[in-house]
């Protein structure tokens, strides 16, 4: 047992490990309860699950703050064994750390705590794979900055699956869900040429954003282009290119990359998007790559969901990534 190294996390309501059996049951971890001040040795864990329930930074009203708990609930209807790949995720020791502390009226505070959570996690347990359930896309800027704080020597690349560039002006919006990639570029955390955005489509990005992307050398592939080449091919190409350029690849999945039929519960849900089978394949390939060391899923507002379609797709996406991660091992 060690002392609790995460003062920026809320007292966790739901701290659990995933069972290894098929019952999808949840084994409540022993450090809920009297021993709450100390934690087990994290070095024994392969994966941490973190909730970053911030959505006050969304352009339109979003309850993405409720997504971490919604995903935890939906997760119960999934098992750990993947029949197609004959892989059982129960081989991974995973722990849910609960959620980052939030402030009711101070958005900057909540973002700082998110950044600190990633930095602390990387400092204390550098061999654990962190998966973050957003929250809106503004958290990605914080999480990558937190990583950079812990590993200032590393060059970081981003693989972004998104309908949008997320390159809108910080002057206009501040650190909102429309600006994280620009935030990372302008702050010098990530170079434009180390960002690969796949899935852009339709009428949802202004011409100016494309011009900015071209200016900073950002790589992007529209969904139509990706389908022509094969989405698997495009993902492999992006990873291969980044492999030569960066130390760590951060995978960020904005759930609005999905067509509205698969993802009705995103604030910007729109037709013309990716099918969930395409997304599952893309993240599984990413999970197999040795430089992909962190992942987040953002912009899912469960209050807008229809029959849990989007939340279940988010869990399936997270688990598909872990299937890839297991294949790599």
Helix axes 309-328, 276-288, angle to 10 degrees: 30
Q: DSSP letters of 36-93? A: TTEE--GGG-SEEEEEE---TT-SS---GGGHHHHHHHHHTT--SEETTTTEEGGGS-
Q: Binding residue for its own copies (CB under 8 A) from 95, 161, 167, 209?
A: 209
Q: Binding residue for its own copies (CB under 8 A) from 280, 294, 321, 326?
A: 280
**Residue 78 CB, nearest distance to its own copies (Å)?**
4
CB 298 within 8 A of CB 158: no
Residues 227-256 that bind its own copies (CB under 8 A): none
**Residue 41 CB, nearest distance to its own copies (Å)?**
16
Q: Binding residue for its own copies (CB under 8 A) from 8, 46, 93, 103?
A: 103
Q: Using the rule CB under 8 A, is 44 a contact of its own copies?
A: no
Q: Using the rule CB under 8 A, is 203 a contact of its own copies?
A: yes
HEC states along 254-265? EHHHEECCCCCC
Q: Binding residue for its own copies (CB under 8 A) from 79, 149, 151, 193?
A: 79
Q: Binding residue for its own copies (CB under 8 A) from 38, 43, 277, 327?
A: 277
**Residue 127 CB, nearest distance to its own copies (Å)?**
25
**Residue 154 CB, nearest distance to its own copies (Å)?**
28
Nearer to its own copies, 193 or 227 (CB): 227
Determine how β-strand 248-254 pairs with β-strand 292-298: parallel
CA 149, 152, 154, 155 torsion: positive or negative? positive
Nearer to its own copies, 120 or 223 (CB): 223
Q: Using the rule CB under 8 A, is 40 a contact of its own copies?
A: no
Q: Under 8 Å CB-to-CB from 263, ≥6 apart: which residues? A: 255, 256, 257, 269, 273, 300, 309, 310, 313
Nearer to its own copies, 60 or 245 (CB): 60
Nearer to its own copies, 29 or 124 (CB): 29
Residues 293-312 that bind its own copies (CB under 8 A): 303-304, 306-309, 312
CB 196 within 8 A of CB 158: yes
CA distance 278 to 226: 10
Residues 140-169 that bind its own copies (CB under 8 A): none
**Residue 122 CB, nearest distance to its own copies (Å)?**
25
Q: Binding residue for its own copies (CB under 8 A) from 91, 126, 230, 261?
A: 261
Q: DSSP letters of 183-213? A: HHHHTTSS-GGGEEEEEE-TT-S-HHHHHHH
- Rounded to a whole number of angstroms, the distance between the first and last alpha carbons of the chain is 27
Alpha helices in 125-204 (DSSP H): 138-150, 170-173, 180-186
Nearer to its own copies, 153 or 172 (CB): 172
**Residue 323 CB, nearest distance to its own copies (Å)?**
9
Cα distances (angstroms) measured from residue 267 to each of 264, 288, 311: 8, 30, 14
Total interface residues for its own copies by CB under 8 A: 84
Q: Using the rule CB under 8 A, is 260 a contact of its own copies?
A: yes
Residues 4-33 that bind its own copies (CB under 8 A): 13, 21-23, 26, 28-33
Q: What is the DSSP letter of 10?
A: P
């Amino acid at each position: 047992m060690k002392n609790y190294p995460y003062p920026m996390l809320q007292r966790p309501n739901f701290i659990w490990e995933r069972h290894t059996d098929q019952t999808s049951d949840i084994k409540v971890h022993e450090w809920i309860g009297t021993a709450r001040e100390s934690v087990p040795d994290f070095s024994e864990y392969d994966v941490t699950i973190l909730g970053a329930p911030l959505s006050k930074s969304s352009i339109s009203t979003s309850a993405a703050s409720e997504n971490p708990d919604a995903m935890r609930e939906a997760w119960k209807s999934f098992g750990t064994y993947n029949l197609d790949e004959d892989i059982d995720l129960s081989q991974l020791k995973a722990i849910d750390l609960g959620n980052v502390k939030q402030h009711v009226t101070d958005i900057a505070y909540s973002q700082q705590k998110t950044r600190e959570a990633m930095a602390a996690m990387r400092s204390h347990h550098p061999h654990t794979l962190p998966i973050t359930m957003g929250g809106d896309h503004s958290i990605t800027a914080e999480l990558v900055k937190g990583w950079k704080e812990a590993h200032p020597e590393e060059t970081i690349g981003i693989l972004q699956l998104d309908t949008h560039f997320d390159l809108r002006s910080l002057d206009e919006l501040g650190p909102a869900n429309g600006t994280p990639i620009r935030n990372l570029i302008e702050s010098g955390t990530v170079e434009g040429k180390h960002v690969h955005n796949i899935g852009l489509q339709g009428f949802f990005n202004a011409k100016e954003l494309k011009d900015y992307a071209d200016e900073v050398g950002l790589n992007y592939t529209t969904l139509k282009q990706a389908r022509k080449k094969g989405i698997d091919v495009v993902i492999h190409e992006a990873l291969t290119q980044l492999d030569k350029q960066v130390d760590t690849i951060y995978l960020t999945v904005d759930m609005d990359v999905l067509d509205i039929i698969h993802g009705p519960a995103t604030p910007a849900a729109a037709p013309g998007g990716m099918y969930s089978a395409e997304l599952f394949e893309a993240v599984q390939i990413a999970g197999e790559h040795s430089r992909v060391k962190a992942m987040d899923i953002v912009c899912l507002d469960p209050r807008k969901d229809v029959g849990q379609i989007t939340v279940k797709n988010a869990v399936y996406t997270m688990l598909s990534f872990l299937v890839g991660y297991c294949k790599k091992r």
